[in-house]
Amino acid sequence: MQNEKAPVGLYFLLIAVMASWGFNVTMTKVLVSYFPTVTMTSFRIFTAAITVIIILFITKKLRLPTKRELGLIFLASIFNIVIHHFFLSNGLRLTTGTNAGLILGSAPIIVAIFSVIFLRERIGAWRAVGFLAGIFGVSLVVLSNGTGISGISLGDIAIFIAMASQAFSFIIIKKLAGSMDTGLMTGYMLFLGSVMLFALSRFMEPNGMSELVAVHSWKLWLLFVVSAVVATAFGNFVYNFAVGKIGPSRSAIFMNFNPLFSLIGALLFLGESIKVPQLIGFIFIIIGVLLGSGALMDLIYERKKIKVRDPEKLLEKEV
């Protein structure tokens, strides 16, 4: 399957999304320490859904889905919202940041495998090099704190399930993107996912609602809103658009930025230092993103196109 060329600005938007998701890992770790995990997650995603739906209503893009679209939205919601966020929130309580970062950073490879299997997408030599460079860079970043991978735990398994379920959902989203506005799709996915998570929380956390309203810290609620609106609403809105535009595997390579932004967050908000191996890892991540996403090829293509057009414009002026 051949993906269309993407505007260069989309790549910068994807980097902004990765920044919000990278910082959101830290925010989520804080939130699950004070709020009931599943109940909080359902309300966080519901807040994101309402945000997206309001935007759709204002822009007059809100409509009911067809039966086919509804089926795919329901399926995507299960993998992208329910399974992903359930295991991510619970996994972050049971594993180290190093292990979680490495596992989440391997998402582009899983997405590439799914894209080849289900979408018959071709991965060229340069993009393959990009994937390997990105994974190597992520490994340097997340393992350079000296703790390494301490062993497989239930938390590690939970994070892997979260990552793999989200990766699979991108295949469904790609299929939906051809007939449905990605913003509309995102709104429905977030809404359905939040409802299913809330139903699940009733069984797992019977006292979840009372524990949720018992939290009176405005700082924690501000963190909740930022996580819901910026990371979840804006992040999913833009990322799903990118999946429809440039394909799952090219979008997923940007996930290599996640652990990097997590480290930047630790530097800014926790006073932790960034080490030389982490800086080297950053370079490999950049190389991986440029090659694996096809962004470098698009930039070269745009530059060549400009060079070809300029002489024509000059000739037109002379005539």
pLDDT digits (tens, 9 = 90+) for 21-56: 888 877 888 898 899 999 999 999 999 999 999 989
Helix H, strand E, coil C: the string for the chain is CCCCCCCHHHHHHHHHHHHHHHHHHHHHHHHHHHCCHHHHHHHHHHHHHHHHHHHHHHCCCCCCCCHHHHHHHHHHHHHHHHHHHHHHHHHCCCCCHHHHHHHHHCHHHHHHHHHHHHCCCCCCHHHHHHHHHHHHHHHHHHHCCCCCCCCCCHHHHHHHHHHHHHHHHHHHHHHHHCCCCHHHHHHHHHHHHHHHHHHHHHHHCCCHHHHHHCCCCHHHHHHHHHHHHHHHHHHHHHHHHHHHHHCHHHHHHHHHHHHHHHHHHHHHHCCCCCCHHHHHHHHHHHHHHHHHCCHHHHHHHHHHHHHHHHHHHHHHHHC
For residue range 183-211, what is the model confidence (pLDDT) as tens digits?
888 899 999 999 999 999 999 999 999 99
pLDDT band of residue 10 (cuts 50, 70, 90) is confident
Q: Give the model's pLDDT for residue 280.
A: 81
pLDDT higher at 281 or 293 = 281
Q: Does 172 score more than 80 pLDDT?
A: yes
Inform me whether the pLDDT recorded for 142 exceeds 90: no
Residue 299 has pLDDT above 90, yes or no: no
Residue 34 has a pLDDT of: 92
**Average pLDDT for the chain:** 80
pLDDT for position 316: 46
156 pLDDT above the threshold of 70: yes
The answer to whether residue 82 scores a pLDDT higher than 90 is yes
Specify the pLDDT at position 1.
44
